[in-house]
Amino acid sequence: MEPVPHANTNLRRAPVQQRSAERLARILDACAELLDETGYEQLSTRAVALRAGVPIGSVYRFFSNKRALTDALAQRNLDSYAERITGRLAVIPATDWRSAIDAVLDEYLAMKRSVAGFALVDFGAVAPEEDPANAANQRVAGRLSELLAAHLGGAPDEDLSRTVLVCVEAADALLQLAFRTDPSGDRAIVAETRIMLRAYLARVLE
What share of the chain has pLDDT > 90, as a percent?
A: 76
- The per-residue pLDDT for range 149-164, each reduced to its tens digit, is 999 888 788 989 999 9
> For 89-114, what is the mean pLDDT?
96
Kindly tell me the sign of the dihedral angle through the C-alpha atoms of 156, 162, 163, 166: positive
What confidence tens digit (pLDDT) does each residue in 4-51 have? Answer: 333 444 455 555 578 888 999 999 999 999 999 999 999 999 999 999
pLDDT over threshold 80, residue 107: yes
Task: Find the helix or strand (DSSP H, E) in which 61 lies.
Answer: helix 56-62
- Residue 126 reports pLDDT greater than 90: no
- Using an 8 Å Cβ cutoff, are 27 and 48 in contact? yes
Cα separation values, 187 from 27, 75, 157, 174, 198, Å:
34, 28, 33, 12, 17
Rounded (5°) CA angle 162-83-47: 105
Mean per-residue pLDDT of the chain: 88
Total residue length of the chain: 206
194 and 30 Cβ atoms separated by less than 8 Å? no
- CA-CA distances (angstroms) from residue 90 to 85, 94, 111, 154, 200? 9, 9, 19, 15, 23
- The half-sphere exposure of 10 on its side-chain side, counting CA atoms within 13 A, is 14
173-201 pLDDT per residue, tens: 999 999 998 999 999 999 999 999 999 99
pTM of the model: 0.87
Q: What is the pLDDT of residue 9?
A: 44
